[in-house]
Amino acid sequence: MSTLTSHVLDTATGEPAKSLRVRLSVLGDDGRWKTLSERVTNEDGRVTDLLPGAVLEARTYRLTFDTLGYFEGSGRPVFYPQVDVVFVVSAPATHHHIPLLLSPFGYSTYRGS
């Protein structure tokens, strides 16, 4: 069974981004996004159960990271109120890991392992 996980690191503090809300959506045939799940990062900045018991399909997905709530919660400035990472699953049987490196004024992502 394929899995989808994420890990968020706050590069400004050098710490995992704890308690950051992450929403997983799938792009429907009608061109609209449908929410599949919402989770919060754990103490290690990880989300390991985005699709518990489900299998990824070959489709387009989006992870939305609530950076507004995360940065406001620590009293820091917010420039990007959310980060949307849109990705295509073409090999549904494999593991997909979407990390996010985050700071108040920038972010980056990549396909992890």
- Tens-digit pLDDT profile for residues 18-37: 999 999 999 999 999 999 99
pTM here? Answer: 0.95
Q: How many CA atoms lie within 13 A of 34 on its CB side?
A: 9
Domain 4-109 sits in CATH at 2.60.40.180
Q: Quote the CA–CA distance of 49 and 55 in Å, as a whole number.
A: 12
Binned at pLDDT 50, 70 and 90, residue 1 comes out as very low
